[in-house]
Amino acid sequence: MPLENTLLVSMNYETSKGGVSRVAHLMGEAVIPNRVFSLYGNENLSSKNIRYFAKKKLPFLWAFVAYILFHRPKLIICDHIGPASLLAMIPVFLLKKVVVFLHDEEAWKPVSARHKLGLNKATHILCNSDYTYQKFIAHNPIFASKTQVCLLAGVPKSFENTIIQISNNAYSSWLEGTPFLIFVSRLWQEHRYKGYMELIDGWKLAKEKNPAFALRLAIVGNGDDAKNVTDKIQNTGLNNCISLFTEISDIDLSIFYSKSKGLIFPSIREGFGFVFLEAMYYGKCCIAVIDQPAAEIIAQNSSGILMKDNSPETICEILLDMDANPAKYEEMGKRGKIIYNEKFTNADFKKRFLNCIA
Protein backbone atom coordinates (compact mmCIF):
# COMPACT_ATOMS: atom_id res chain seq x y z
CA MET A 1 0.00 0.00 0.00
CA PRO A 2 1.37 3.46 -0.89
CA LEU A 3 1.62 6.06 1.80
CA GLU A 4 -1.16 8.58 1.25
CA ASN A 5 -0.38 11.39 -1.25
CA THR A 6 3.40 11.01 -1.57
CA LEU A 7 5.74 12.75 -4.03
CA LEU A 8 9.28 11.49 -4.67
CA VAL A 9 11.61 14.04 -6.29
CA SER A 10 14.70 12.44 -7.78
CA MET A 11 17.88 13.48 -9.51
CA ASN A 12 17.67 10.34 -11.65
CA TYR A 13 15.11 7.60 -11.13
CA GLU A 14 16.41 5.47 -13.99
CA THR A 15 17.58 2.04 -12.89
CA SER A 16 21.29 1.14 -13.12
CA LYS A 17 22.31 4.80 -12.81
CA GLY A 18 24.48 4.63 -9.73
CA GLY A 19 24.10 4.81 -6.00
CA VAL A 20 21.78 7.84 -5.82
CA SER A 21 19.30 6.15 -8.17
CA ARG A 22 19.50 2.99 -6.10
CA VAL A 23 18.66 4.89 -2.92
CA ALA A 24 15.73 6.61 -4.66
CA HIS A 25 14.31 3.21 -5.60
CA LEU A 26 14.83 1.89 -2.08
CA MET A 27 12.77 4.79 -0.74
CA GLY A 28 10.25 4.32 -3.54
CA GLU A 29 9.82 0.66 -2.59
CA ALA A 30 9.37 1.68 1.04
CA VAL A 31 6.56 4.21 0.47
CA ILE A 32 5.27 3.49 -3.10
CA PRO A 33 4.88 7.18 -4.06
CA ASN A 34 1.85 8.45 -5.98
CA ARG A 35 4.14 10.44 -8.27
CA VAL A 36 7.86 10.50 -9.10
CA PHE A 37 9.60 13.43 -10.81
CA SER A 38 13.08 12.69 -12.16
CA LEU A 39 15.31 15.50 -13.47
CA TYR A 40 17.44 13.09 -15.52
CA GLY A 41 16.11 10.39 -17.82
CA ASN A 42 14.61 10.37 -21.30
CA GLU A 43 11.09 11.82 -21.44
CA ASN A 44 10.02 8.79 -23.49
CA LEU A 45 10.48 6.70 -20.33
CA SER A 46 7.70 8.64 -18.58
CA SER A 47 4.63 6.73 -17.44
CA LYS A 48 1.47 7.48 -15.50
CA ASN A 49 3.22 7.81 -12.14
CA ILE A 50 6.83 8.52 -13.15
CA ARG A 51 7.85 11.55 -15.21
CA TYR A 52 11.37 12.10 -16.58
CA PHE A 53 12.47 15.59 -17.61
CA ALA A 54 15.62 14.94 -19.71
CA LYS A 55 17.67 17.52 -17.74
CA LYS A 56 15.14 20.29 -18.48
CA LYS A 57 15.31 22.19 -15.24
CA LEU A 58 12.55 24.76 -15.81
CA PRO A 59 9.79 22.23 -16.62
CA PHE A 60 11.06 20.11 -13.72
CA LEU A 61 10.76 23.11 -11.41
CA TRP A 62 7.28 24.09 -12.55
CA ALA A 63 5.97 20.53 -12.38
CA PHE A 64 7.24 20.31 -8.80
CA VAL A 65 5.60 23.60 -7.77
CA ALA A 66 2.34 22.82 -9.58
CA TYR A 67 2.05 19.39 -8.02
CA ILE A 68 2.41 20.82 -4.53
CA LEU A 69 -0.09 23.62 -5.22
CA PHE A 70 -2.77 21.36 -6.69
CA HIS A 71 -2.20 18.08 -4.87
CA ARG A 72 -0.88 19.20 -1.47
CA PRO A 73 1.23 16.04 -0.85
CA LYS A 74 1.39 14.86 2.74
CA LEU A 75 4.91 13.52 2.20
CA ILE A 76 7.65 14.85 -0.11
CA ILE A 77 10.88 12.87 -0.45
CA CYS A 78 13.97 14.41 -2.08
CA ASP A 79 16.60 11.80 -2.94
CA HIS A 80 19.46 14.32 -2.97
CA ILE A 81 20.32 17.81 -1.77
CA GLY A 82 19.92 19.05 -5.37
CA PRO A 83 16.12 18.63 -5.62
CA ALA A 84 15.83 19.77 -2.01
CA SER A 85 16.81 23.29 -3.11
CA LEU A 86 13.43 23.55 -4.88
CA LEU A 87 11.77 23.59 -1.47
CA ALA A 88 13.01 27.14 -1.00
CA MET A 89 10.28 28.30 -3.39
CA ILE A 90 7.42 26.67 -1.46
CA PRO A 91 5.65 28.43 1.43
CA VAL A 92 5.96 26.48 4.67
CA PHE A 93 2.17 26.20 5.11
CA LEU A 94 2.01 24.05 1.95
CA LEU A 95 4.57 21.58 3.30
CA LYS A 96 3.63 18.87 5.78
CA LYS A 97 6.36 16.20 5.99
CA VAL A 98 9.51 16.67 3.90
CA VAL A 99 12.38 14.15 3.82
CA VAL A 100 15.79 14.90 2.27
CA PHE A 101 18.36 12.14 1.81
CA LEU A 102 22.09 13.00 1.89
CA HIS A 103 24.74 10.79 0.35
CA ASP A 104 28.37 11.84 0.53
CA GLU A 105 30.48 14.72 -0.75
CA GLU A 106 27.61 17.18 -1.11
CA ALA A 107 27.04 16.76 2.65
CA TRP A 108 30.67 16.89 3.78
CA LYS A 109 31.00 20.68 3.64
CA PRO A 110 28.99 23.78 4.55
CA VAL A 111 25.90 23.77 2.36
CA SER A 112 25.31 26.66 -0.03
CA ALA A 113 22.80 29.40 0.78
CA ARG A 114 20.38 27.95 -1.80
CA HIS A 115 20.57 24.46 -0.33
CA LYS A 116 20.32 25.83 3.19
CA LEU A 117 17.00 27.47 2.32
CA GLY A 118 15.74 24.14 1.07
CA LEU A 119 16.99 22.14 4.05
CA ASN A 120 15.36 24.65 6.39
CA LYS A 121 12.01 23.51 4.96
CA ALA A 122 12.77 19.81 5.54
CA THR A 123 11.27 18.05 8.54
CA HIS A 124 13.65 15.06 8.30
CA ILE A 125 17.22 14.94 6.96
CA LEU A 126 18.62 11.43 6.55
CA CYS A 127 22.25 10.42 6.02
CA ASN A 128 23.40 7.20 4.36
CA SER A 129 25.92 6.41 7.11
CA ASP A 130 27.16 7.68 10.45
CA TYR A 131 30.31 8.79 8.63
CA THR A 132 28.25 11.14 6.43
CA TYR A 133 26.17 12.24 9.41
CA GLN A 134 29.22 13.25 11.45
CA LYS A 135 30.70 15.23 8.57
CA PHE A 136 27.40 16.93 7.77
CA ILE A 137 26.69 18.00 11.35
CA ALA A 138 30.29 19.18 11.87
CA HIS A 139 29.86 21.64 8.99
CA ASN A 140 26.13 22.35 9.39
CA PRO A 141 25.28 22.15 13.11
CA ILE A 142 22.05 24.12 12.69
CA PHE A 143 20.44 20.99 11.22
CA ALA A 144 21.48 18.61 14.02
CA SER A 145 18.04 18.37 15.64
CA LYS A 146 16.34 16.98 12.51
CA THR A 147 19.16 14.89 11.06
CA GLN A 148 19.66 11.17 11.63
CA VAL A 149 21.31 8.12 10.10
CA CYS A 150 19.37 5.78 7.83
CA LEU A 151 21.92 3.10 6.99
CA LEU A 152 21.50 1.76 3.47
CA ALA A 153 20.88 -1.86 2.53
CA GLY A 154 19.98 -4.21 -0.30
CA VAL A 155 21.34 -5.40 -3.63
CA PRO A 156 19.99 -4.86 -7.17
CA LYS A 157 16.81 -6.80 -7.93
CA SER A 158 18.67 -8.54 -10.77
CA PHE A 159 20.95 -10.13 -8.16
CA GLU A 160 18.02 -11.57 -6.25
CA ASN A 161 16.43 -12.99 -9.39
CA THR A 162 19.56 -14.36 -11.04
CA ILE A 163 20.27 -18.06 -11.22
CA ILE A 164 24.03 -18.33 -11.66
CA GLN A 165 24.71 -19.84 -15.07
CA ILE A 166 28.44 -19.98 -15.73
CA SER A 167 28.53 -22.29 -18.73
CA ASN A 168 26.59 -19.91 -20.98
CA ASN A 169 28.34 -16.77 -19.77
CA ALA A 170 30.63 -14.85 -22.14
CA TYR A 171 33.30 -14.69 -19.42
CA SER A 172 33.10 -18.35 -18.35
CA SER A 173 36.66 -19.24 -19.37
CA TRP A 174 38.09 -16.34 -17.36
CA LEU A 175 35.83 -16.98 -14.37
CA GLU A 176 36.78 -20.64 -14.14
CA GLY A 177 40.52 -19.94 -14.07
CA THR A 178 42.83 -19.26 -11.12
CA PRO A 179 41.09 -17.79 -8.00
CA PHE A 180 40.46 -14.05 -8.19
CA LEU A 181 39.31 -11.02 -6.22
CA ILE A 182 36.96 -8.38 -7.56
CA PHE A 183 37.06 -4.57 -7.52
CA VAL A 184 33.90 -2.74 -8.68
CA SER A 185 33.66 1.00 -9.31
CA ARG A 186 33.41 3.77 -11.86
CA LEU A 187 36.89 4.61 -13.12
CA TRP A 188 37.02 8.40 -13.16
CA GLN A 189 40.27 10.32 -12.88
CA GLU A 190 38.73 12.60 -10.26
CA HIS A 191 37.77 9.51 -8.24
CA ARG A 192 41.18 7.88 -7.98
CA TYR A 193 40.69 8.02 -4.22
CA LYS A 194 38.88 4.70 -4.72
CA GLY A 195 42.34 3.16 -4.76
CA TYR A 196 42.41 1.16 -7.99
CA MET A 197 45.83 2.50 -9.01
CA GLU A 198 47.27 1.56 -5.59
CA LEU A 199 45.60 -1.83 -5.99
CA ILE A 200 47.55 -2.50 -9.19
CA ASP A 201 50.78 -1.42 -7.49
CA GLY A 202 49.95 -3.69 -4.54
CA TRP A 203 49.54 -6.64 -6.92
CA LYS A 204 52.91 -5.87 -8.48
CA LEU A 205 54.55 -5.86 -5.03
CA ALA A 206 52.91 -9.15 -4.12
CA LYS A 207 54.27 -10.76 -7.28
CA GLU A 208 57.73 -9.39 -6.55
CA LYS A 209 57.72 -10.61 -2.94
CA ASN A 210 56.33 -14.02 -3.80
CA PRO A 211 56.68 -15.15 -7.43
CA ALA A 212 54.27 -18.00 -6.63
CA PHE A 213 51.51 -15.50 -5.68
CA ALA A 214 48.56 -16.77 -7.71
CA LEU A 215 45.53 -14.56 -7.07
CA ARG A 216 44.07 -12.67 -9.99
CA LEU A 217 42.06 -9.44 -10.00
CA ALA A 218 38.93 -8.51 -11.94
CA ILE A 219 38.53 -4.73 -12.16
CA VAL A 220 34.91 -4.10 -13.16
CA GLY A 221 34.10 -0.55 -14.21
CA ASN A 222 34.39 2.13 -16.86
CA GLY A 223 35.05 5.83 -17.16
CA ASP A 224 37.56 8.39 -18.37
CA ASP A 225 40.36 6.63 -16.48
CA ALA A 226 39.81 3.17 -18.03
CA LYS A 227 42.52 3.70 -20.67
CA ASN A 228 45.01 4.72 -17.98
CA VAL A 229 44.12 1.62 -15.96
CA THR A 230 44.70 -0.58 -19.00
CA ASP A 231 48.05 1.11 -19.67
CA LYS A 232 49.12 0.68 -16.04
CA ILE A 233 48.27 -3.02 -16.09
CA GLN A 234 50.35 -3.47 -19.23
CA ASN A 235 53.24 -1.30 -18.05
CA THR A 236 53.52 -3.25 -14.78
CA GLY A 237 53.48 -6.58 -16.64
CA LEU A 238 50.34 -7.81 -14.91
CA ASN A 239 48.26 -8.72 -17.97
CA ASN A 240 48.16 -12.35 -16.90
CA CYS A 241 46.73 -11.67 -13.46
CA ILE A 242 44.71 -8.41 -13.71
CA SER A 243 41.89 -7.94 -16.21
CA LEU A 244 39.67 -4.90 -16.79
CA PHE A 245 36.01 -5.50 -17.68
CA THR A 246 34.27 -2.32 -18.88
CA GLU A 247 30.95 -3.60 -20.19
CA ILE A 248 29.45 -5.81 -17.49
CA SER A 249 25.69 -6.14 -16.96
CA ASP A 250 24.23 -6.56 -13.49
CA ILE A 251 23.60 -10.23 -14.24
CA ASP A 252 27.21 -10.73 -15.32
CA LEU A 253 28.38 -8.77 -12.27
CA SER A 254 26.45 -11.11 -10.00
CA ILE A 255 28.30 -14.04 -11.59
CA PHE A 256 31.66 -12.34 -11.04
CA TYR A 257 30.82 -11.86 -7.36
CA SER A 258 29.64 -15.43 -7.05
CA LYS A 259 32.83 -16.89 -8.53
CA SER A 260 35.26 -14.54 -6.77
CA LYS A 261 37.17 -15.15 -3.54
CA GLY A 262 36.24 -11.74 -2.19
CA LEU A 263 35.94 -8.01 -2.79
CA ILE A 264 38.86 -5.63 -2.33
CA PHE A 265 37.84 -1.97 -2.37
CA PRO A 266 40.59 0.29 -0.95
CA SER A 267 38.71 3.59 -1.25
CA ILE A 268 39.55 6.37 1.20
CA ARG A 269 36.51 8.62 0.56
CA GLU A 270 33.12 6.92 0.42
CA GLY A 271 29.69 7.89 1.70
CA PHE A 272 28.58 4.29 2.11
CA GLY A 273 29.65 1.47 -0.23
CA PHE A 274 26.98 -0.72 -1.83
CA VAL A 275 29.73 -2.98 -3.20
CA PHE A 276 30.31 -4.43 0.26
CA LEU A 277 26.67 -5.50 0.49
CA GLU A 278 26.86 -7.04 -2.97
CA ALA A 279 29.86 -9.14 -1.97
CA MET A 280 28.29 -10.11 1.37
CA TYR A 281 25.09 -11.15 -0.40
CA TYR A 282 27.15 -13.79 -2.18
CA GLY A 283 29.02 -14.80 0.97
CA LYS A 284 32.33 -13.15 0.05
CA CYS A 285 34.79 -11.48 2.40
CA CYS A 286 35.37 -7.74 2.07
CA ILE A 287 38.67 -5.86 2.22
CA ALA A 288 38.43 -2.10 2.78
CA VAL A 289 40.09 0.82 4.57
CA ILE A 290 39.50 1.72 8.22
CA ASP A 291 37.90 5.02 9.33
CA GLN A 292 35.44 4.88 6.44
CA PRO A 293 31.76 3.85 6.26
CA ALA A 294 33.05 0.35 5.51
CA ALA A 295 33.54 0.05 9.28
CA GLU A 296 29.74 0.33 9.66
CA ILE A 297 29.28 -2.68 7.38
CA ILE A 298 32.32 -4.94 7.82
CA ALA A 299 33.05 -6.67 11.13
CA GLN A 300 36.83 -6.38 11.54
CA ASN A 301 38.59 -9.75 11.34
CA SER A 302 35.19 -11.45 11.25
CA SER A 303 33.50 -10.70 7.91
CA GLY A 304 36.49 -8.93 6.41
CA ILE A 305 39.55 -6.78 6.96
CA LEU A 306 39.78 -3.02 7.44
CA MET A 307 43.28 -2.02 6.35
CA LYS A 308 45.12 0.85 8.05
CA ASP A 309 45.49 2.64 4.69
CA ASN A 310 45.43 1.93 0.96
CA SER A 311 49.14 2.10 0.29
CA PRO A 312 50.52 -0.55 -2.10
CA GLU A 313 52.57 -1.95 0.80
CA THR A 314 49.49 -2.45 2.99
CA ILE A 315 47.52 -3.93 0.10
CA CYS A 316 50.41 -6.26 -0.71
CA GLU A 317 50.46 -7.56 2.87
CA ILE A 318 46.78 -8.50 2.83
CA LEU A 319 47.03 -10.02 -0.66
CA LEU A 320 49.83 -12.35 0.39
CA ASP A 321 47.84 -13.44 3.44
CA MET A 322 44.72 -14.08 1.34
CA ASP A 323 46.74 -16.16 -1.11
CA ALA A 324 48.33 -18.19 1.69
CA ASN A 325 45.20 -18.65 3.85
CA PRO A 326 42.14 -19.01 1.58
CA ALA A 327 40.08 -20.95 4.15
CA LYS A 328 40.38 -18.07 6.65
CA TYR A 329 38.81 -15.64 4.19
CA GLU A 330 36.18 -18.11 3.05
CA GLU A 331 34.97 -18.26 6.65
CA MET A 332 34.88 -14.47 6.76
CA GLY A 333 32.64 -14.51 3.70
CA LYS A 334 30.23 -16.92 5.39
CA ARG A 335 29.98 -14.60 8.39
CA GLY A 336 29.43 -11.66 6.05
CA LYS A 337 26.44 -13.45 4.52
CA ILE A 338 24.95 -13.88 8.00
CA ILE A 339 25.44 -10.16 8.74
CA TYR A 340 23.81 -9.25 5.41
CA ASN A 341 20.75 -11.36 6.15
CA GLU A 342 20.45 -9.96 9.68
CA LYS A 343 20.94 -6.27 8.89
CA PHE A 344 21.24 -5.32 5.24
CA THR A 345 18.32 -6.70 3.24
CA ASN A 346 15.88 -4.44 1.38
CA ALA A 347 13.34 -5.18 4.10
CA ASP A 348 15.81 -3.91 6.71
CA PHE A 349 16.15 -0.61 4.86
CA LYS A 350 12.39 -0.23 4.55
CA LYS A 351 11.99 -0.72 8.29
CA ARG A 352 14.79 1.77 9.08
CA PHE A 353 13.45 4.35 6.63
CA LEU A 354 9.84 4.21 7.86
CA ASN A 355 11.01 4.42 11.48
CA CYS A 356 13.12 7.49 10.64
CA ILE A 357 10.27 9.39 9.03
CA ALA A 358 7.50 8.31 11.44
Instruction: Dump pLDDT digits (tens) for 269-280.
Output: 999 999 999 999
pLDDT interval class at 4 (50, 70, 90) = confident
Query: Rounded CA gap, 306 and 23, in Å?
Result: 25
Give the Cα-Cα-Cα angle 195, 216, 244 (nearest 5 degrees). 60
Query: Rounded CA gap, 214 and 35, in Å?
Result: 52
pLDDT for 163 equals 58
CATH among 3.50.50.60, 3.30.2320.50, 3.30.70.20, 3.40.50.2000 for 157-343: 3.40.50.2000
Query: Rounded CA gap, 191 and 151, in Å?
Result: 23
CATH for the stretch 6-150: 3.40.50.2000
What is the domain partition of the chain in residue ranges?
6-150, 157-343
pLDDT for 173 equals 87
pLDDT in tens, 90-106: 999 999 999 999 999 99
pLDDT for 162 equals 63
Q: In terms of Cα–Cα distance, which of 191, 183, 248, 180 is closest to 219?
A: 183
For residue 128, what are the β-bridge partners? none
DSSP character string of 221-244: --STTHHHHHHHHHHTT-TTTEEE
Q: In terms of Cα–Cα distance, which of 195, 191, 185, 182 is closest to 315?
A: 195
The answer to whether 6-150 and 157-343 have equal CATH topology is: yes
pLDDT interval class at 164 (50, 70, 90) = low
Is 266:201 a contact under the CB 8 Å cutoff? Answer: no
pTM of the model: 0.94
Query: Over the range 264-298, which residues count as b (16 or more CB within 10 Å of their CB) and which as e?
Result: bbbbbebbbbbbbbbbbbbbbbbbbbeebbbbbbb
Give the Cα-Cα-Cα angle 105, 137, 193 (nearest 5 degrees). 25
- On the question of pLDDT at 3 being above 80, the answer is no
- On the question of pLDDT at 250 being above 90, the answer is no
- On the question of pLDDT at 336 being above 80, the answer is yes
pLDDT for 171 equals 87
Greater confidence, 168 or 149?
A: 149
pLDDT for 15 equals 84
Q: In terms of Cα–Cα distance, which of 218, 221, 152 is closest to 192?
A: 221
